[in-house]
Amino acid sequence: MQKARPKEPRKNTGAKAAPPAARILSPRRKTTEATTLHGLAVEQLEHFHIDPASPTGRPLLALAEKLYGAHGDVMELWAATTRELGRLPRQDRLALFNAKKFLSFQLAKLLDTLQNPARKTHQSLRYSNTTMLAKGPYPIFDNVTAIFSATPVITRTATYLYACSEWIDDAFQGREFLHEIYSRLMNPTSISLANHIVDIEAGPMAGEYMAWNFNSGMSAIDAALSHVVGYQDVVLASRNIYGGAYQLLHDWFGKRSNLDVAVIFFDGGTTADFTRALAGVKRTYAGRLAAGRHVYVYLESPCNPHGVFLDVPGIAKAAHAEQLKVLCDSTVGTPFLVRPLQRVDPAERPDYILHSYTKDLTGHGTTTAGVVIGRNEDMFLPKGDTTPDGKSWHDTLFWNVYYIKGAFLDADKAFEVLTGMKTLEPRMLQKCINTMVLARWLASNPLITVTGPANPGDPNFAIARRLSYLKLPAPLFTINFERAQLSRLTLARFFDSLAPMFGHMVSLGQSNTMVLCPALTSHSELGPEALREAGITPSTIRISVGDESARELIGDFLEAVRTAIDPVIPGFSGKFMPAADIDRMIDRIYADVHRRHAAAQPRFSACVKYTVRPH
């Protein structure tokens, strides 16, 4: 690099004034004294000790000045797109997308070409092998083409190069997203997933929401609760929640030496059930509320272990009428079955949606991950910013929890989730069909109790049909053998005979069907009374339904019954519906669900609506 003599920018009476948008590209974006595009370019070269009049300085100056001008054009394109997009016919929107796509390639081509003289300059420094091996290849040289990878790049790095001191300062203030600083905070692969889940979950409302990813579903639950719940607040939670969430609320938040939070569980899934429980909370904790403490609502719907649906829109609206925040774990439903953030009435939307990516969103049991989705202003603001209604930057989930707790999602896990999500819809459709088949077959035996809306006789059946896509059940339900009065030994021998068709695994939401006894595993944190209140008996078995052949699922279950239960209760296996009825049921359900799924797809006229420009 040539050393440059300090000098004043050349006078140019025809130079364009430097708009604020152009200054953002300057290495002195905060301290620049330049007032023109030319002045910014000269100042940039001098910042890096380059003489603008030197043989290499002249082309650098010309390119820099053009880039400052181009940035203003890009910002105008952004503004014009925001302003006009809603009015453009679909044909023009497609054309605009492809024009911008090609423009991205042109910009990348400029950057890729720039790497040739940059690499040559780097090679000319002639570092020793000792230094070169320690430093590794300079990443910018070969990373440009990775922009156009057909899938998000797995960005395996802890740190990132940054441009200059003023840019990295802005990055630490949350004002420069080109610099992701450190992968404990942000990583391109994880950010790609966060943007994708918002698009899928919020749909037309995606512009109002933001997501932060975590390394497990439990860390996402902990982050959301830690963000809103304070000392001696009250959490009003739905009865049937994941055992780990119960333990977190009851044993950590509720512990007197921690936050001394009052944790109250309400039964039922209707708005009336919730409002009745809220009234009781107000009476019981009137002293805390008078002292300025708050009530927060924590829901899980559909719930674990029974797959029961809560009236989330109604409960959210009732809670918001009381100025309460609502958190909802929507893991079991996934955006295939329920999309709470797409309700037209904002009052019916939870304030935060939680997912364990580990389950059906990834779908294969290959990773652990979680996410919290919330409104933009609740999730992130640059340091020092305040919203018009008074919300400060330090009240956002990013700065309050995510930035300091470190439960980030790494790039490899994010890539696993992104890959799994591609098959979410066909996987869930098949699972829901299998769930309807298996639950109805099991319910045909009068000595088995099937709990959850997968059983048409369940009290939750009507709510689930109203809220779920195609009126489908979640692929999760429970059965128990209390009517059969099986001994503990008989139940254990039966349960242990269900493999390999029914996997003995402590999870849910994989492509294979899994069974567990909640009282011994997923909900073992609950005491005897809490288990009873949650509808979990000693003989309860949770079934997380997979994508296998429904007939083979039934067949192997029936063989386990014949092996382990028939010797104790003769004729138990004969109480199920006969084979011919099974075939008719499966064919009917399969055809009906696929017919309704096809009918629910957008009509062709809607797909081409506004395609042709009006004359």
Question: For residue 518, is it within any domain?
Answer: yes
Long-range own/partner contacts, residues 506-509 (CB < 8 A, 24 or more apart) = 507/358, 507/359, 507/365, 507/544, 508/304, 508/332, 508/359, 508/360, 508/476, 508/542, 508/544, 509/331, 509/332, 509/356, 509/358, 509/359, 509/360, 509/361, 509/362, 509/363, 509/475, 509/544
Say what the pLDDT of residue 143 is. Answer: 85
Assess whether pLDDT exceeds 50 at residue 11: no
Specify whether 393 is located in the same domain as 518. Answer: no
pLDDT digits (tens, 9 = 90+) for 65-106: 999 999 999 999 999 999 999 899 989 999 999 999 999 999
- Between CA 484 and CA 460 the distance in angstroms is 24
Claim to verify: residue 336 and residue 455 sit in the same structural domain: no
> By residue range, what is the domain housing residue 119?
20-145
Q: What is the pLDDT of residues 368-411, one digit of tens each?
A: 999 999 999 999 999 999 999 999 999 999 999 999 988 899 99
In a domain, 127, yes or no: yes
Residue 182: φ, ψ to 5°: -160, 135
- Establish if 171 belongs to a structural domain: no
501, 358: one domain: no
State the pTM of this model: 0.92
Q: Which residues pair with 213 in a beta bridge?
A: 371
**One domain for residues 395 and 453:** no
Q: Are residues 244 and 378 in the same domain?
A: yes
Instruction: Pick left, alpha or beta for residue 339 (phi over 0 → left; psi -120 to 50 → alpha; otherwise beta).
Output: beta
Q: What is the pLDDT of residues 210-250, one digit of tens each?
A: 999 999 999 999 999 999 999 999 999 999 899 899 999 99
Residue that finishes a domain, picked among 145, 179, 201: 145
Classify residue 176: in a domain, yes or no.
no
The rounded percent of the chain whose pLDDT value lies above 70 is 95
Same domain, yes or no: 226 and 359: yes
Report yes or no on 493 lying in a domain.
yes
> Does residue 135 lie within any of the structural domains?
yes
Which runs of E-coded beta strand occur in 208-289? 209-214, 234-238, 262-266
pLDDT tens per residue across span 260-291: 999 999 999 999 999 999 999 999 999 999 99
Residues 452 and 368 in one domain: no
> Of the residues 421, 440, 467, which one is the last residue of a structural domain?
421
Query: For residue 355, is it within any domain?
Result: yes
* Three-state DSSP class for residue 326: strand
Same domain, 441 and 321: no
Amino acid, single-letter form, for residue 53: A
Closest CA to 303 of 349, 240, 361: 240
| CATH number where 342 lies | 3.40.640.10
403 and 493 in a single domain? The answer is no
Domain boundary among 94, 116, 145: 145
Does the pLDDT at position 4 exceed 50? no
Return the percentage of the chain with pLDDT > 90, whole number.
82
DSSP states along 543-609: EE--SS-HHHHHHHHHHHHHHHTTTTSTTGGGGSPPHHHHHHHHHHHHHHHHHHHHHTSPPHHHHTT
How many structural domains compose the chain? 3
Phi and psi based region of residue 363 (left: phi greater than 0; alpha: psi -120 to 50; beta: remaining): left
In the prediction, which pLDDT does 615 show?
43
Residues 268, 344 share a domain? yes
476 part of a folded domain: yes
Long-range own/partner contacts, residues 251-257 (CB < 8 A, 24 or more apart):
251/525, 253/225, 253/229
CATH number at residue 570: 3.90.1150.10
Q: Is 413 found in the same domain as 430?
A: no
What is d(CA 426, CA 439) in angstroms, rounded to the nearest whole number? Answer: 20
Q: Do 468 and 479 share a domain, yes or no?
A: yes
d(CA 41, CA 216): 47
